[in-house]
Amino acid sequence: MGHDGGVSGAKDLAFGSIAGSCAKVFEHPFDLCKVRLQSQPPDKALRYTGPWDCFKQTWTKEGVRGLYRGLSAPIVGAAAENACLFLVYNQCQRLITFAKGSDPSTPPQDKGLDELALAAAGAGAVASFILTPIELVKVKMQVTLLRAENLALLVNGSNPTSKPPRPDFSSLPGPIAILRQTIAKNGLRGLWLGHYGTLLRETGGSSAWFTTFEVVSRLFMRRREKAQGLERGSIGRSDLKAWELCVAGGCSGMAYNIVLFPADTIKSAIQTNAELRPDLAASHRASFLGTAKEIFAARGIKGLYAGCGITVARAAPSSAIIFLLYENLVRNFA
């Protein structure tokens, strides 16, 4: 991926893991709000009117610890996802180059965008199989407190004028407990609940992510060459400045999320049915298309894009961090 020469598979794994983990710490509160907005059952009144309302309610009721609820699973997920993405993306590029009989030493900026888009889609498809179980645990942790609140309201009734007590986080299940519960109830197959949504999002999103980064990076390279009167190809990615890498990474993050955001919304709704709609989850297994139709019928296109604004807003700096860290690790340690 983003380098002029080759990087070993082991270093791809290491660099991708470090970059993804660091970015996840920054973005997790935004992701939590996104998941809670996406998971609002279409057959019930809206709990949150928008991202800011979700953030305020979470902060008021749960504090800073609530905003980082479920962080452990995403940290593992981000490390695994980015390690897998960068590794498989580079290997897919090599495979395509081999199939075409091209020079294997050709740097990414000299390859066709169609090749890079195809390699990125392959990387996203592979990553989705690793990511689905990790995201399943994450989103369940992010909405378990909402389920506890719902049960309390049913049992005790509600007093809108009273300030809600701080939650007892020690009583909520952790990632290992949720993992065990899921396997005990649905077997290993249950860990891939909502996988179709993850597959769609990762395949199309990863293609947009890497390709957009490449396009913007090339614009900066050509701009520098023109300004300095250099021949085409004289400036490589290793010559780009930190702010240029951040801009390219920020654009790629926004492209990733805009492309197939409804698939992520549907996935989150399916994965949290057991917590937020236990009556429905007990009667039948939610399908991807069925859930999409239900959300659209209840809330229209706006429902399918619930949380999109806050996701795109956090994706820009998050992806900027990932690409900046990855490229600098490549420059200094590859």
> Do the Cβ atoms of 81 and 3 come closer than 8 Å?
no
CA 318/CA 325 separation, integer angstroms: 11
Entry pTM: 0.81
Q: In 3D, which of 59, 44, 81 has the Cα closest to residue 273? A: 44
> Do the Cβ atoms of 320 and 246 come closer than 8 Å?
yes
Q: In 3D, which of 75, 67, 68 has the Cα closest to residue 21? A: 75
What single string gives the DSSP state of each residue in 105-129?
A: T--GGGS-HHHHHHHHHHHHHHHHH
Three-point CA angle 154, 164, 43, nearest 5°:
40
Q: In 3D, which of 121, 118, 83, 127 has the Cα closest to residue 97? A: 118
Give the count of beta carbons closer than 10 Å to the beta carbon of residue 181: 14
Q: pLDDT truncated to tens, each residue of the chain (334 aa)? A: 444 445 567 888 888 899 988 888 888 888 888 888 988 888 888 889 888 999 899 888 888 888 887 777 778 878 888 889 999 998 999 899 888 887 777 777 778 999 999 999 999 999 999 999 988 988 888 787 676 655 554 445 545 445 555 556 666 778 889 899 999 988 999 999 999 999 999 999 999 999 999 999 999 999 999 999 998 888 888 899 999 999 999 999 999 999 899 999 999 999 988 888 877 666 677 889 999 999 999 999 999 999 898 889 889 999 999 999 999 998 888 6
Residue 49, C-beta contacts closer than 8 angstroms, at least 6 positions apart: none
CA 44/CA 57 separation, integer angstroms: 18
Could you give all domains of the chain from N- to C-terminal order, each with its CATH number?
A: 9-333 (1.50.40.10)
Three-point CA angle 293, 134, 247, nearest 5°:
85
Rg over alpha carbons for the chain, rounded to the nearest Å, is 21
